[in-house]
A = this chain, B = another copy of it.
Amino acid sequence: VLAGLILDSEAEPASRPLAGKRVVITAGPTREAIDPVRYISNHSSGKMGYAIARAAERAGARVVLISGPVSLTAPDNVEVRPVQTASEMLAASEKAVAEGCDLFVATAAVADYRPENRAGDKIKKTSETMALPLVRNPDILATIAGREDAPFTVGFAAETSDVARYATDKMHRKKLNMIVANDVSVAGLGFNSDDNAVTVFWPEGQESIGPDSKQAIADRLVVLMAEQNDRA
C-alpha cells in the first residue's frame, strides 16, 4: 500500500507533467559530406537536446531522441536514433512523428545547406580558389509543423544578433507553438557550454530562463511546454 501511495505521488501531474505523452526530440549537429573525407558541420554539442530528453523522460514522457554525431551518453530510458545528415534527420523525424507524437522539440543545429554533389573519391586540389556548390537542405521543423497531424512543435533559434525579432519571426513563419531563443555570441553560454540563458516565446507570452545549467533550463522548458500543450 505504501509503495502504491509513493507511485501515485510520483505520477501526480505537478511532478510528471508529461505523463503518458510521446515526445520526439532532435539534437546535435548534422554532418554534410563534401567527399569521403571532408564535411560541413557546426559547433552544436547536443547538450541542450539531451538535457530536454532527460527532463521529458523524468516528466513521464516516452522519448525518442534523434541525434546527430555527438559525444554524449544516452539518457536512461530514452530511445536514441543516430543520424548524420539533415536528410536522414528529416526521414527519422517523419517516421517517429508518424509512429505517434504529442510534442516535437527541434533542438538540432541542422545544416541549412549541403554540398550539391558528394564526390566519391577525395577531391584533388587543383586551383587557388574554388566555389563549393551548395543546395538547401529540407526544413525539418517547418515540415513537421506543416503536417495535418502536426504535434505541438517547439523550435530553437541560435542567433548572433537581433535575437528576439528573428526568433518570433521564425515562430510565426514556420507555424510553431513555441520557440526557444538563445544568443550564441554571449561568451560561456550556448554551444558546447554546460550553461545557457534563453528566452521562450509562445503566441501569447514569453519567459526568460537562466543563466543556469542546461539541465535546469531543460527542466523548466519541459514544464512550459506541458502547460502550453495542455492549453493548445
Contact = CB atoms under 8 A, between A and B. Distances in A.
Contacts of A122: 158-160, 184
Interface string A112-148: 1100100011110101111111111000000000000
Interface string A144-156: 0000000000000
How many copies of the chain does the oligomer comprise? 2
A191 B33 CA distance: 15
Nearest to A44: B37
Nearest to A37: B42
Chain A interface helix/strand/loop/mixed: loop
A131 B129 contact: no
A71 interface: yes
A37 B109 CA distance: 9
Contacts of A39: 40-43
Nearest to A34: B40
A73 interface: no
A116 B128 CA distance: 11
Contacts of A15: none
Contacts of A161: 121
A121 B38 contact: no
Nearest to A121: B160
Contacts of A123: 112
A100 interface: no
8 contacts: A37-B43, A37-B160, A112-B123, A121-B161, A122-B159, A130-B134, A131-B133, A131-B134
